[in-house]
Amino acid sequence: MAVSRIFGAAVKRREDPRLITGRATYTDDVQLANLAYVAFVRSPHAHARIRRIDTSRARGAPGVVAVVTGQDLEGKVAGIPTAWLIPNSDLKTPKHPALAVDTVRYVGDAVAAVVAESRAAAADAAALVDVEYEVLPAIVDQEKATQPGAPQLHPDVPNNIAFRWKVAGGDIDAAFRNAEVTVKQRLINQRLIPNPMETRQVVAQYNAGTGDLTVTMTSQNPHIHRFLLSVILGLPEHRIRVVAPEVGGGFGSKIHCYPEEAVLSYLAMQLGRPMKWSEDRRENYQATIHGRDHIVDLEVAAKRDGTILGLRGRCYASLGAYLSTASPGIPTILHGLMMTGCYKIPALDYEVLGVFTNTTPTDAYRGAGRPEATYAVERMVDLLAAELKMDPVDIRRKNFIPKEAFPYTVASGVTYDSGNYEAALDKALEIVNYRQFRAEQAAARAQGRYLGIGFSTYVEICGLGPSAVAGAVGFQGGLWESAVVRLHPSGKATVFTGSSPHGQGEETTFAQIVAEELGLPIDDVEVVHGDTARIPMGWGTYGSRTTAVGGTAMVLAARKVKEKARVIAAHLLEVSPEDLDFVNGRFQVKGVPERSKTIQDIALQANLAWNLPKGMEPGLEESSFFDPSNFVYPFGTHIAVVEVDPGTGAVKLLRYVAVDDCGPVINPKIVDGQVHGGVAQGVAQALWEQAVYSADGQLLTGSLMDYAIPTAQSLPSIETARTETPSPVNPLGLKGIGETGTIASTPAVVNAVVDALAPLGVRHIDMPLTPEKIWRLLPTA
Amino acid sequence: MKIEGTYTIAAPRELVYHTLRDPQALQECIPGCQELTLQADGRYLAKLQVGIAAVKGTFTGHVQITDEQPPSSYRLHVDGSGGPGFAQGEVMITLSDIEDGTRVDVAGEGQVGGMIAAVGQRVLMPATRSLMNQFFGRMQSKIEALARQ
């Protein structure tokens, strides 16, 4: 095909005009006649028995319609399920009632719901629900939670251990027997709060006449939410419509199935009125999932020349108080399988304990397991380099999986599709001018200034994924994706995706894909998503799957349309289909280009059906259900350059270079945007963000006053570049780019700060690298 | 959270002790106290209107006095809950004679939970101190006025 101007072009995001001019419709913008408002009463205790709930004062408050407690829902609203039943583990799935019935297990656990005529009346009345608690001892540290005598969260989960899961490959004992050097380190991957701009919102509407329930909600995957709501409410799936209108970001936090949408649906059905709930930011901090929160002990075995022989260790992953929708799979499948990173480490032995604690449940947050794995392996490689007094670049080169080795099966058993790790590293080194930096660093050190450089040569698993593998690893769903491409009589196209973009820009990139394939003007392609009544069955947006899997379904559906159009064009032009070239939206007879039919001509003829080839069905609409043969494994090199202020311990990020390889780029502007946002979140984890609980389970970072998310002034201009190594697992060679920024950036920054402070004998600092933490390591302190 | 403070009141120790124990005086001096009623079990039922940082609301709870050693010391237990969350604390109040009156030492621990803990953490210590200062400031005026009578 000729070089295209649409695929690969930096087309401006078509989503943005409506977003930045306030014309987008979010769930909270939905207004319905007779709407009632719901507020939840949440536990102020991390762990307590509910002795008594007195709702009488709340019921008597002005504007109150109803108050329900956990007991009222028993037998009517089933528990909140988990959807990832990891195999080869002893996973326990304790009950998770939508509203707590007899015990609360984290601050924010909902115990009652108040329905009122206004949001304010509901909030005021919620404060009047009298709950008498018997406070129980709480545990927030996941390692201590497994020890004898620790407070127990669930009666059927001894030592709070939800599961033990292990990944092993190669001969780990031999690796450590043959080691000339070993390095051990404990790494804390602190708990984070996702912070999408829009918090969670639900509007539930039930039509008793038709029996139809419509739930408008902040969802990354409307079909998954529809299925789970059907299970929880006992309502047939085809009677439920889930609509995700404009969704203001999710970062994973809107994948999951939460109590609120089930309770609102129940209330709408019971009370015969539409219900709205609008989560506020403080509520979001307690009631919406958190991410990360691993305590990892690792040991690496190597030879003196830097050859890594093996990696072993154990992870305590805090799951919070209950299993969330995907939480068992995050610290295992999406984490443990990636522990050897981009290196040919022949032996791996890694155990993960999923542990219940009296905290908000954790689950997938941008990167979901892979940032933790990348941080672990990239820190260990730097620690090993320091031990061997090797350059961090040299040790990486020495252990990279070579580009000729792909597809390459790592010790964990997963097979990386394609890669060229040295090319990305070389490009990044060139951009940062490594040699010159080391000279500047030495000069600065002589003046008492602490400059540092940090590398992260990452690889990640995304483009979730092959459905058979999803089944094999216990995910209770498929991971294929769907698309429908429909050409209208006028030649305009509406295309439908089963994925559910919520800020990533696929309305633009998918239009580019279809415009490219069919030679249509991009403005003639409308992308529809996020409504189970309009779109085909699909699995949604997460795991950087939308483009690699959903985009592939889109291209395959468009190609089916093109092939049908070619047959119609050949019929009308009285030639055989293979005698036609397709150039810029026009089928033209080879050698006689003036004899041609445009795709718009064909769309009209297909829809009129006055003169179609014998036996051909009318219309020009095709669908595709694409199930990939493997995951995709984007990779790259990120480099952070920092200066540490010896007076205050503050870290200044001087430069950030991101060289990523996501295969062919559909839209470089959008890829840059994804990298920028991801890097901002990863840098923020390295330097600022941390969800802090007191020992008795109070969330101390309970608002944006105390939880430090980055602002524009926190970051330098990020320097992006790319290499291009296509994936063999989809026809366009696409890999995901939605999470690489958060996956790559934390170790780059921490490695840079440790490099800066190495002259002081600093070997490791746990994130976030706050000024205070660093200041205490400085000689002046 | 540690609760600590020292106050001086220009009045004899017996009067200070008595007034600090007096429900009427307590109700008048506890900031935001709307009700303080003695219950059959010896505890006081209290209703307080409190605001810390952006968090304002009504607490309902109990006040109990134990370990009474008149006129030297007693232990004060407070627990309350309401819309903004919960608060509980236990302080030892110790009185000693000084040259021109009585010294009152307050020492104990407090816990808060729910919205106050989530939002007010950063200002909790100064807010607690400010509430305590208000309380003892009012008590001081009241007791010193009584002493002058």
Share of chain A above pLDDT 90, in %: 98
What pLDDT, on the 0 to 100 scale, is given for residue B81? 85
**Tokens 């600022």 appear where?**
A688
> What distance in Å separates residue B123's CA from the closest CA in chain A?
11
The complex's ipTM works out to: 0.82
Instruction: Select the residue of A44, A126, A702 nearest B81 (Cβ to Cβ).
Output: A44
Share of chain A above pLDDT 70, in %: 99
Q: Rounded to an integer, what is the distance from CA A395 to the centroid of its chain?
A: 30
Return all residues near B60 (Cβ < 8 A) that are at least 6 apart: A130, B45, B46, B47, B48, B80, B81, B82
Instruction: Select the residue of A128, A696, A703 nearest B118 (Cβ to Cβ).
Output: A703
The string of pLDDT tens digits covering residues A537-559 is 999 999 999 999 999 999 999 99
Read off the pLDDT band of A780 (50, 70, 90).
Answer: low
Among chain B residues, the shortest Cα distance to A125 is held by B83
According to DSSP, the residues that pair with A281 across neighbouring strands are: none
Query: A27 in helix, strand or coil?
Result: helix
pTM of the model: 0.94
Record: fold of B2-144: Alpha-D-Glucose-1,6-Bisphosphate; Chain A, domain 4 (3.30.530)
Read off the pLDDT band of B87 (50, 70, 90).
Answer: confident
What pLDDT, on the 0 to 100 scale, is given for residue A213? 98
The string of pLDDT tens digits covering residues A663-715 is 999 999 999 999 999 999 999 999 999 999 999 999 999 999 899 999 989 99
> With DSSP H G I counted as helix, E B as strand and the rest as coil, what are the percentages for chain B, rounded to 5?
35, 50, 15
Name which of A50, A42, A96 is nearest A356 in CA terms.
A96
What pLDDT, on the 0 to 100 scale, is given for residue A2? 43
Name which of A494, A628, A485, A478 is nearest A538 in CA terms.
A478
Q: Please give the mean pLDDT across all residues of chain A.
A: 97
The string of pLDDT tens digits covering residues A544-599 is 999 999 999 999 999 999 999 999 999 999 999 999 999 999 999 999 999 999 99
Rg of chain A taking only CA atoms, in angstroms: 27
Among A380-389, A397-406, A457-466, B61-70, the range scoring the smallest mean pLDDT is B61-70
Quote the CA–CA distance of A682 and A653 in Å, as a whole number.
13
Q: Per-residue pLDDT for A188 more than 90?
A: yes
| Residue from B2, B49, B60, B86 whose CB has the most chain A CBs within 10 Å, to mutate | B86
Can you read off the two tokens belonging to residue B24? 């009427």
DSSP per residue, A306-349: S-EEEEEEEEEEEEESS--SSGGGTTTTTTGGGTTTTB---EEE
What pLDDT, on the 0 to 100 scale, is given for residue A295? 98
Read off the pLDDT band of B126 (50, 70, 90).
Answer: confident
Instruction: Select the residue of A46, A126, A705 nearest B122 (Cβ to Cβ).
Output: A705
> What average pLDDT does range A52-71 have in this prediction?
98
- Identify each DSSP E strand in A559-668 by its residue range: 580-583, 586-589, 592-598, 621-626, 635-644, 651-661
Q: Per-residue pLDDT for A4 more than 80?
A: no
Q: Per-residue pLDDT for A1 more than 70?
A: no
Eight-state DSSP code of residue A282: H
Contact A700 B57 (CB under 8 A): no
What pLDDT, on the 0 to 100 scale, is given for residue B41? 87
Can you read off the two tokens belonging to residue A766? 């746990």
B121 chain-A contacts, CB cut-off 8 A:
698, 700, 702, 706
What pLDDT, on the 0 to 100 scale, is given for residue A3? 45
Q: What angle do CA A454, A455, A457 make, to 5 degrees?
A: 165
Query: A403 in helix, strand or coil?
Result: helix
Q: What angle do CA A661, A562, A612 make, to 5 degrees?
A: 170
Contact A44 B115 (CB under 8 A): yes
